[in-house]
Structure 1
Amino acid sequence: MVEALVLGVEEGRVRLRGVSRSETEWTARIAVPGYRPTTGDRVLVQEADSGTVYVTGVVHAAQPSQLVAPSGARATVEGQVLALFDPGGALVASLDGATGELRISATSDLKLSAPAGRVILSAGVDGSKIELTQDSIALASEKARVSAGALAVDAIKADWAVGQWELRAGRVIERAMDVFHDVEGLLETRAGRLRTLVSSTLELLGRRTTITSEKDTRIDGERVLLG
């Protein structure tokens, strides 16, 4: 039985180097119940008659596999995964060292705060995206701005309630089965030219109708009925 230093863990086996014989290295299996090896641990190893090398004891653990706070919250290391648990044992956060995936879960409120800076969410590879999935999402801000090369909104129903609506665009194209405008006050259109194309019937209904032209007024039809 000799003392060895843990160099790393690969596929359930431990890479070791002898302490007194630094030129000697082994790949060993763990024979200590509950032991999770960490790089830097000093362990005892023994070779079986079959030639297989086993870790049979721990002389010194470089890092504890679990840290427990006085409140009962704890952090654990399980293979490549670092996990953080609250005092009730619920998983709060986990980091998978193999995939780089980080998960954060809160049993109560989850708050992100940067009083002196900004909160930035980014996904840095081509084709990646940030997804928010929830039955209801509320955004409250004194001022909000969205800047994007393209913006698409898919919704079964969209409601807008604003004090003033101002739209600026190079071109506005609307396509719909039916469009209804209900204006209590004034509806005014200002344009360099105005053209309305109707494939069937055009109806203008009003209590009074006034058409004023600075020059010509032309009415052209197969029949013109007045009165």
Structure 2
Amino acid sequence: MNWLLNYFTSSLGRKIMMSLTGLFLCLFLVIHLIGNMQLFIPDDGMAFNTYAYTMAHNPLIQIVGWATKIIILVHAFQGLVLWAKNKAAKGARYATGNGKSSSWASRNMALLGTALLVFLIIHLANFWVKAKFFPEGLEAFTLADGTETENLYALAVKTFENVGIVILYVVGMVALAYHMYHGFQSAFQSLGINHKKYTPAIKWIGIAVFAILIPLLFAAMPVFFYLK
């Protein structure tokens, strides 16, 4: 067990763990986006509330949900440790190379990651905490099969009436975009997946899908409800 502990506390081991947890969180973002896209369906929240009820009452999904929260903390912790070690060793911020040829995003991954962690805490407080621990404060909603549940669609509508929160979410998605711009491709490189045949495709997916499309669609949700 000591060799395993030593490996995962080494710089290489931490980078591998960062890559694996990061790619898992990329998959989570895709799934989370698909579910939340139902907020755009003009059915007064029926589709979204049905989805939310299913997510909240499926034991397997609940386990995955808690595992995801742990993975986020592990990813953040490992990232900060690597940043601190890199800064101590090179006298520079989270960067590769000499800092001049690297992108702004690559040099500021720790800053972006910290901003995202703060944003995530606020996001969980706005929705997950209220639904999980204070459901009595939410409006009731009746699903198509007659099941009574919380109206999380109405909670989203009410939350995004606040322009300050809308701006916060948009800024958070800008941080996500920059984080993904460097992080997605970097994760594959750390895992040794780097070849002239498929690295351009990985880079394209990282930029087009994870740095542009996903943050843009997430940011569109609060803007949509504010302008609605």
TM-score by length of 2: 0.15
Q: Whose strand proportion is higher, 1 or 2?
A: 1
Q: Which has the larger radius of gyration?
A: 1
TM-score by length of 1: 0.15
